[in-house]
């Protein structure tokens, strides 16, 4: 029955072969995030389904990603609400967020004897601002940006370290501001853009005169 195949927020009689929109994908992404927050999906399952949702072309492809999950409660606007807090707590290890991940409203990272890395290169941005609260002892904080992502590190207290914040490209409109606050003891803060591949570097390298 076609009504069973419509992703959350779509009419019950939507045909499964119809093309999905960006809004359709966003609704399913948020439903998956909520399910993971409730313990219904593992981190690996969430990553796999997010990748599939963001590349889905039809209602059918989206529907199979949530068919084993309870329906979202409330209106479509409520489903689109981003996750409030992402907590990353590690003792003697690294806290890393890379790849295609959904940016929450707030990130809390506490690491002892390790590093924190937040890579926004392929992240899914759901809000204009994200607050990042960090406590890092004996390690470094690295934030990888992309055009449109700016980072404010003015509220970070440093003990025995340095802050290196490379400004974002001024040509790109800002779509995410990362506000960083907290403490770093015996480490550094580094904000940089994504590293170029060898071929990107080669194309940008100046040509030698013939």
Q: What is the pLDDT of residues 60-90, one digit of tens each?
A: 999 999 999 887 554 333 333 456 888 888 8
Say if residue 45's pLDDT is above 80: yes
Q: How confident is the model at residue 172 (pLDDT cuts 50, 70, 90)?
A: confident
Q: Where are the domains of the chain?
A: 2-79, 85-192
103 vs 9 pLDDT, higher one: 103
Say if residue 35's pLDDT is above 70: yes
Res 7: pLDDT:
54
Res 11: pLDDT:
45
Res 190: pLDDT:
93
Three-state DSSP state, 182 = strand
Q: What is the CA radius of gyration of the chain?
A: 20
Which pair of structure tokens corresponds to residue 151?
């980072």
Which pair of structure tokens corresponds to residue 84?
């409030």
| Distance in angstroms (rounded) separating the CA atoms of residues 27 and 131 | 23
For the entire predicted model, the pTM comes to 0.57
Chain centre to alpha carbon of residue 31 = 15
Say if residue 5's pLDDT is above 60: no
Res 134: pLDDT:
92
Which pair of structure tokens corresponds to residue 21?
């929109």
Res 4: pLDDT:
46
Q: What Cα–Cα distance (Å) separates residue 185 from each residue in 76, 92, 95, 182, 189? A: 43, 15, 16, 10, 11
| Distance in angstroms (rounded) separating the CA atoms of residues 124 and 30 | 11
111 vs 82 pLDDT, higher one: 111
Tokens 């019950």 locate to 12
Residue 112: Cβ-neighbour burial (10 angstroms; 0-12, 13-18, 19+): middle
Q: Among 71-75, 102-106, 134-138, whose mean pLDDT is lowest?
A: 71-75
Res 77: pLDDT:
37
Which pair of structure tokens corresponds to residue 174?
């800002």
| Distance in angstroms (rounded) separating the CA atoms of residues 53 and 33 | 11
Range 116-132 average pLDDT:
90
Res 84: pLDDT:
81
200 vs 85 pLDDT, higher one: 85
């Amino acid at each position: 029955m076609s009504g069973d195949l419509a992703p959350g927020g779509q009419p019950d009689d939507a045909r499964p072969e119809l093309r999905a929109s960006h809004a359709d994908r966003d609704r399913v992404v948020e439903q998956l995030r909520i399910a993971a927050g409730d313990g219904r999906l593992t981190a690996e399952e969430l990553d796999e389904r997010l990748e599939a949702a963001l590349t889905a072309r039809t209602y059918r492809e989206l529907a199979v990603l949530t068919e084993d999950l309870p329906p979202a409660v409330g209106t479509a606007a409520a489903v689109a609400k981003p996750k409030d807090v992402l907590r990353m707590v590690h003792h003697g290890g690294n806290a890393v967020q890379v790849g295609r991940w959904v940016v929450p409203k707030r990130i809390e990272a506490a690491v002892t004897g390790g590093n924190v890395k937040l890579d926004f290169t392929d992240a899914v941005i759901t809000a204009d601002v994200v607050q990042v609260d960090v406590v890092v002892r004996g390690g470094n904080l690295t934030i990888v940006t992309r055009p449109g992502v700016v980072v404010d590190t003015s509220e970070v207290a440093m003990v025995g370290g340095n802050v290196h914040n490379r400004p974002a490209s001024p040509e790109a409109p800002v779509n995410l501001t990362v506000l960083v606050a907290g403490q770093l003891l015996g480490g550094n803060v580094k904000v940089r853009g994504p590293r170029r591949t060898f071929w990107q570097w080669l194309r940008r390298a100046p040509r030698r005169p013939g």
